Structure 1
Amino acid sequence: DMNGIPWDSMRRFETISLTPKVIVREDIFSLKNIVVAGIDYYYSPSRSNDAGTGTDSSTNINKTEWGFYINDELFVLKDLLFTAGYRLAKVKYDFDYTDNTGSLAPINDFVKDDKDAWRIGLNYIIPDKGNVFVNFAKGFRFPATDEYFSPFATPPINENLKPHTAEEIDLGIRYNFTKNIGASATGFSGRHTNEIYYNPLTFQNSNYGKTKRQGVEATLFWIIMPGLRLDLGYTYLDAVFDGDDLDGNKIPMVPANKFNAAVSWAIDALTMTFSSQYIGNRYMTSDITNSFPKMGGFTVYDLSAVYTWKGFKVTGAVKNIFNKEYSEYGVVVNGTGMQYFYPSPERNYLLGVQYTYRF
C-alpha cells in the first residue's frame, strides 16, 4: 500500500563475480617494490515486478562489467612510499521492460560505456608515530542497475543516465602523540562531472552538470584505559555547482557540517559501543537555486554490541535509541514551494549472526 493505493512490488538483485589477481614482490635496484595486477568480472542481473492501480510491469536489467587494474608500491626511500595505479573498465547494460497493460511501449535495448581511472601518491612514514600523504586521482562510478529504473517515471528506464566521473586531490597527516592518543586531518578538493542524484519531480535518477567538493576531515582517538576507547570525527564539506547559471550554488542534501562520536567498551569477547551522529543543515532536494529555507540538522544516538565466540559473531543494535522524530530527506517543489519531508526510522532494532569457517 502506497499512500492508500494498493501496490505490490518485487525486487531481486544478484551478483556473480570473478576477481583473480597476482602479487609480485620484486625489488628494483634494491628498492622494496610490490606490484598487484588483476582482472575483475561482475555479472549483476536484476529483476523487478510492479503492480498497482492502473499499472503492471516487469523489468529485467543485466549489468556486465569487466576491468583490468595494476598498482605499484615503491619505497623510493626507507620511509617514503610512492604509489601509482591504473584501472580500465567496460560495462554493458541490457534493458528489457514490458508494460503488461499495454499503455507504454516495451523497451529492449542496451547501453555500453568504458572509463579509466588512475591514482598517484606519496606517503612519508614517521616511524612509530604516523604518516604524511598526498594523493592525486581520477575516478568514476558506473550507475547501479536500480538507478536506471523507476516504475513511476515515464519512460521507466532512463537510458540517458551517465557515469559519474571525478578528479581529486587530498593531503593529510596521521599522528599518534602517545600510544593512547592519536589524530588525523585530511584536506581534499575534487571536481565532478555527471554526479548522480534522484530527482523526485521526474521520479528518475539524473545527472548534475559540473560540481565541486572541497573540505576537511579530522579524527581523534583516545584509549582512556584498557578496553575503553573514545573516537571523535568532524567533516566540513563545501559542495557547490561549478559553472553555468548555478555557479556557486550549494548542492542540495549535502550538509556542510557532520560530527560523530563513539565510546567503545571491550570486555573479553564482548564489545559495546554507544555512538552519536550530527548532520547539519542542508538545502532540500530540487532546490538547486537555494531559494528555500534549509532543512534543520539532527542528532541521533545508537547502541550496539558484538560478541565473538570461536567462528561465531553475534551483533545487535538499537538504532535511534531516544526515539527521535526527524527527516533525513526532504523535497521542495520549485513551482509551488511545497515542502515534503520523508520521516526517518524511529527506534529500531537489528540482530545478526555470522559464522566463519577456515579450512
Structure 2
Amino acid sequence: GNFFGSEAPDLKRNDTEEMYNFGIKHFFTDSLSAFGNVGRSARFATVDELFQFNPLGAQEFSVIEPQTAEHVDLGVEYEADNISGSISAYYMDIDNEIHFDPTTFTNINLDPTERKGIETTVEFRPLPEVSIRGNYAYIDSEFDEGPFDGNEVPLVAKHSASISANWDINSIFTLSSIWSYVGEKRFDNDQTNDFGQKIPDYDIWDMKLMGEHKGWIASFAINNILDEEAFDFGVRSNFTPGRYNALPLPERNFILTAGYNF
C-alpha cells in the first residue's frame, strides 16, 4: 500500500467481445441508391472508469462489464448535380452501457436499453460557391429490461435538428453559419421518469469567418449569437425533491484564431 494504505488492490482481468460490420448498397439509377448495415460494437471500460473511490473513501476497482451494441440500419440516398439527401431508419440494442452515476460518483453498467429512430439529411447547392444543409433526427430510447423497463433513458433527446450554410466568398475567405436545435430530455438520475421536470429544449446559432492565404490561417467566430441561456446536462438531486444541478452552456462568446503553416 501507499503511505496511507489506501491504494486500490491489484486487478487483473481479460475481456473479449466480438465486433463486426456488414453493409450492402444497391444503385437503382446513377442518382438513387439503397443501403443496409448490420453490426456489433463494443466498448471496454478505461482505467479511469474502473478506478474510483468507494463510499468510505477507499480506492478500489469497480467490476464493469464491457458495453456492447447491436444495430441495423436501412436507408435510401439520392445525389444529383446540385442536391443530395438521405433518409435512414435504425434499431440499436445496447447491453451494459457504461454510465457515470453522479449520486455515488462511481461508474456502473445500465440495464439493457434499445434505441430506434430516423435520420434525414438534405444538401442543396444553389450556386457553386454556396451550400445549404439540413438535418433532422428522431430517437426513441427506452430501457428494455430491469426495474425501469419501458422508461425513457435519461439525457437522450427525442428530437434534434440543424441547418447550416457555407459560402466560399472568394479564394481566401469562407463564411459559415449553423443553427442547432436539441429537444427536451430527461435529467440524469431520473431513470424512474417521475421527476416531473425535463432539461428544456434549446437552439443555438453560430457563425464563423475563415481565411487562408499564403500559409496564413485566421478565423473569427461568434458562438451563440442570440445569447441564449441553456444547459445540455443536468442531474436530479437525491436529497432535495424538485431540485437539480445543471451545467450551463456558454452564452454569447467570441473566438479569434490565427496561425501560419510552415
TM-score, normalised on structure 1?
A: 0.65
* Greater fraction strand: 1
TM-superposition CA deviations, 1:40-74 (whole Å, max 9, x none): xxxxxxxxxxxxxxxxxxxxxxxxxxxxxxxxxxx
CA contact (8 A) 1:217 1:235 kept: yes
Report deviation, 1:319.
2.1
Q: Which has the higher contact order (CA 8 A, sep 6+)?
A: 2
Unpaired segments ≥5 residues, structure 1 = 1-96
Is residue 71 of structure 2 the alignment partner of residue 168 of structure 1? yes
Amino acid at match of 1:305: L
The answer for the alignment partner of 2:180 in structure 1 is 277
Is residue 97 of structure 2 the alignment partner of residue 195 of structure 1? yes
Counterpart Cα distance in 1 of 2:47 and 2:213: 38
CA contact (8 A) 1:256 1:281 kept: yes
Report deviation, 1:119.
1.4
Matching of residues 15-94 of structure 1 within 5 Å: none
- The count of residues paired between Structure 1 and Structure 2 equals 258
Counterpart Cα distance in 1 of 2:32 and 2:211: 31
| Matching residue within 191, 194, 198 for 1:291 | 194
Q: Which moved more, 1:138-147 or 1:266-275?
A: 138-147
Amino acid at match of 1:326: A
- Structure 1 vs Structure 2: percent identity of aligned residues? 28
| Matching residue within 340, 344, 359 for 2:249 | 344
Is residue 168 of structure 2 the alignment partner of residue 263 of structure 1? no
TM-superposition CA deviations, 1:140-194 (whole Å, max 9, x none): 1223444335579745554312221011000011102x41122110100011101
| Matching residue within 5, 16, 20 for 1:114 | 16
Counterpart Cα distance in 1 of 2:139 and 2:112: 17
Counterpart Cα distance in 2 of 1:201 and 1:224: 51
- Describe the shift of the 1:230–1:200 C-alpha distance in structure 2 as closer, same or farther (beyond 3 A): same
| Matching residue within 207, 226, 233 for 2:128 | 226
Matching of residues 125-164 of structure 1 within 5 Å: 125-149=27-51, 154-156=57-59, 158-164=61-67
Is residue 226 of structure 2 the alignment partner of residue 309 of structure 1? no
RMSD: 2.5
TM-score, normalised on structure 2?
A: 0.87
CA contact (8 A) 1:303 1:318 kept: yes
